[in-house]
Structure 1
Amino acid sequence: MNPVVFVDGDQGTTGLQIVAQLQQRDDVSLLTLPPAQRKDADRRAEAINRCDVAILCLPDAAAREAAAMIDNPAVRVIDASSAHRTDPAWVYGFPEMSAGQAGRIQAARRISNPGCYPTGAVALLRPLVDAGLLPVDYPIVINAVSGYSGQGRAGVEAYEGPGAAQAPAFQVYGLALEHKHVPEIQLHAGLSERPVFVPAYGAFRQGIVLTIALQLRLLPEGVSGRRLHEALHAHFAGQPHVQLMPLQQAAALEQLDPQRHNGSNAMSLAVFDNPRHGQVLLAAVFDNLGKGASGAALQNLDLLLAA
């Protein structure tokens, strides 16, 4: 019998993509609730306790509520919200983050799916911190631009609904420097100091470009762009969903397309090196609804099903 996967909250941008992909598979039995039952606590509790794996695609408060409904110890959970991403009782669902992380996910009962922006930031920072090339107290500044679907259904409505003509072409937000992804980035990147995070939305549906600038004079002696690239290469070698651009290819680029990996679970990383000025730019490109959300959830599901 196929394992039963229950998607709770299947009408949001992430849930819709997960359901669409699971409907094409013959190795799982998909369980969802009809519209009239989606807010019925008893029906939700019944569904979540009779599945093998629950994927929560809910606002934070509702995700905590759903997790609290589980009294069947056999149920395994992947939470796509930000409710549990810094909770030590939950395993962080980024398989490529560090050695052994995929195994920890595979053995876990509770997995917290990474946020879209943190996926790129942690991918770039954690390997360099672990390699001793990036001080844990480096004054990190992260800039990122996401497609408007990063706002969820409200963003899609704003850019694709009746008022789409008035939607801004570009908007920077999070100006109070209190974005909810910052604690997640700091914890899982291994930083001792809070990074500055400056997010933005563009007038395209999905995709992310995230960049982090580094001054070589603030890094340990002898660290260069090439050494940073070598560390990332060593870390992600053999990882099918993360590709590191060769230095020569990066040097020839003049722009980055945030939509390059749309519709996939792929992520590209790059190191742009300017030895003359002693500066390096780290970059990640991926789909905020793919590797940044539904793709990552399905990657974690596959780890659980293979256990």
Structure 2
Amino acid sequence: MRHSISVPPTNYCIILSTFDPYLVLPNHGPDINVLPEVSSISWPYPNRPNFTRTTTGEKFDVKLSEGQYASLTRLLREFQRVMISINLQSDWFICAGSLLGSWRHHNMIPWDDDIDVCVDVQYREILNSVLRKLPWDYSTVSQRENDKLFFKPLDENATVNSLTIGSFRTPHRWSWPFLDIFYYQRNESNSELILFSKKHDIKEVFPLIYRPLGNHWYPTPRSPVLVLQKYYNGNVCFSSGYKHSLERSTRSETVECESLLNRHPFVRRCPSSVNHNRNDGLQLCDEHLVDGNGKSVHKIQTLVHLNDKDSLKFTVRNDKFQCP
């Protein structure tokens, strides 16, 4: 099932003369044969917590078991597959805490417990129509301003362990883990979009750029820093005031991110080793995921906005690490 999508106005669309694998196209997914390899590189947290139906632990501990994390990433992969199939790959992006996680950790925020995506609201009806036709093991729920994609809940008497993939019942109509689907709206002139009640210049968001979230690539806004700074304090780390696995409020906490350097790796951006002249305000960058000892867990070459590359917002610098 495919839908024709109108070409965006050229007032914010940057046309390149050659194919760029980092730029998101409507009906193509990330070209894993051209983009840097992220599925087989080193990643932190080889031993995740032994959780099953919920999560526990301290505020800034790793929140998800292996199975819970795999459940969320599988939901996100399926969502991306759907968006490609209906030619809407360039009309959605990871957002909110998930965008912050990609920018600061190359993955979900370690202490987060859901994934957030944002979609153009004009396609909400089309999207929900397709999601409702997914195989029986997927389910959706629509709320006033957002939707959720999750697995049909496992039986409460089912035998589960920390590797189990699936969603578990909550006190509400949906199950957890789930994908939270939010919506943005363009203004009439296509010069701005409204997301979470905040206005963004369209050039802050489009054209979308692929970034890593775990071992795969997903659409993100053109300037993550300009988008994130309207919602978050760029110099601190905070734990959510909500526990999705139980669907209840909890006490939030804010700390200096530097205090977490010995507990979680953070991304450090360095000049790229590849010369690549561009005229679109974007630049290749070598992003190192740096552990508490100042060692690079892995390096991923990304494409970033010039204003974001050297920004100290949402960046935690470990003094033990020096760019090569």
TM-score, length basis structure 1: 0.28
Higher strand fraction: Structure 1 or Structure 2?
2
TM-score, length basis structure 2: 0.27
